[in-house]
Amino acid sequence: MYLRHFSLRELPFSITPDPAFFYPHEGAQAALNTLLIALRSGEGFLKIVGEVGCGKTLLCRQLLRALQDDFVTAYIPNPDMGPDDLLMALAQELNVTLEPPLSRHQVLTRLQEVLLRHAEAGRPVLVCIDEAQATRMATLESLRLLSNLETEKHKLLQIVLFGQPELDEILARPQIRQLLQRITFSEYLGGMRPERVGPYLAHRLAVAAEDGLTDIRVFEPEAAAALARYSRGVPRLLNVLAHKCLLLAFGENVRRVQARHVELAAADTPGVTMPRQRWWQRLRWGAGAPTTKTGEMS
């Protein structure tokens, strides 16, 4: 692999959502700020919606990391389960002791007891649900009922939903309108702006670099601009392309990624829309000139 070639101790463009690589571009920082302020103010239900690959899971983990000293936290990565299974998953995340035989009433009672103890100790409880667009209707209703747990002054449980745009369509259904009305704050997470791509690349390289490495200008400005264009600012796609670019540069034994490396990586990556070349560009690359039906050059 190219780690030694670029003086790196770990892969800088892994698609695994590692909070150590969190880059606070405008959209991500605005969403994080909204969550932090709302949660510390005691808001019960919040929602983050974003397109595929825009960093919802990384934002979720960064939020949990930021609040770990002040909140008791639970993380549900896959909510595609029934209401009872969700209660069991939540109980497990919050280290609630359950003794058989179990019933829904018993689990709810034990959960409420634990939540009350945390509230008395001044420890708010936060539940983050990732991929929330996969949550079943009955389970969403169960979440709403959980949000009813409260003292005279405070909610016992705060919930943040992270999901794709389909989540908004689900929440708009009349049968769960009560849940929609309880969501007090909502943010949309999109791709980063083109001018942020260069600093994003440098940030991830700096985090992954070996101690003492000062030169992280691996991507030429033209390469960063091409990556912004092909990825449309979507972090996951940007990471895939950047990783392939480093592989290409390593294969050529060079230490700078150029625009041509990005072109090759983009052509090899599903989900990337390649621009149509005009006839003089095809001539430049030796593809031959287009001809008319009569064989004359157009």
SS3 state at 8? strand
pLDDT band at 277 (very low <50, low <70, confident <90, very high): low
Strand 158-163 with 125-129, pairing: parallel
Relative orientation angle of helices 104-120 and 83-93, to the nearest 10 degrees: 40
Residue 43 CB neighbour total at 10 angstroms: 19
Burial per residue of 1-33, b for 16 or more beta-carbon CB atoms within 10 angstroms, e otherwise: ebeeebbbeebbbeeebbeebbbebebbeebbe
Contact assessment for residue 191 and residue 170, using Cβ atoms and an 8 Å cutoff: no
Percent share of the chain, pLDDT over 70? 90
DSSP state of 296: -
Quick check: 162 and 130 in contact, CB under 8 A?
A: yes
Q: Which residues contact 31 (CB under 8 A, 6 or more apart)?
A: 48, 59, 187, 189
Q: Is the pLDDT of residue 293 over 50?
A: no
19-189 CATH, one of 3.40.190.10, 3.40.50.300, 3.40.50.150, 2.40.160.20: 3.40.50.300
Q: Is the pLDDT of residue 219 over 50?
A: yes
Which percentage of the chain shows pLDDT scores above 90? Answer: 70
* Burial 44-53, CB ≥16 within 10 A → b, else e: bbbbbbbbeb
Query: If you compute the radius of gyration of the chain from its CA atoms, what whole number of angstroms results?
Result: 24
Is the separation of the CB atoms in 38 and 46 below 8 Å?
yes
Residue 131 has pLDDT above 60, yes or no: yes
Residue 275 has pLDDT above 90, yes or no: no
First-to-last CA distance in the chain? 46
**Tokens encoding 148:** 């009813």
8-state DSSP, 155:
B
Q: Which pLDDT band, with edges at 50, 70 and 90, does 271 fall under?
A: confident
Q: How many CA atoms lie within 13 A of 91 on its CB side?
A: 21
The rounded distance, in Å, linking the Cα atoms of 35 and 82 is: 27
Buried/exposed 213-224: b ≥16 CB within 10 Å, e otherwise: eeebebbbeebb
pLDDT over 50 at 241, yes or no: yes
| Model confidence pLDDT, tens digit, residues 173-207 | 998 888 888 899 999 999 999 999 999 999 999 99
Q: Which CATH architecture has domain 194-270?
A: Orthogonal Bundle (1.10)
Tell me what the pLDDT averaged over the chain comes to.
Answer: 88
CATH 3.40.50.300 residue spans of the chain: 19-189
Q: What is the pTM of this model?
A: 0.87
Residue 129 structure tokens: 């649900």
β-partners of residue 215 are none
Q: Is the pLDDT of residue 237 over 80?
A: yes
Domain with CATH 1.10.8 in the chain: 194-270
CB neighbour list of residue 66: distance below 8 Å, 6 or more residues apart = 32, 36
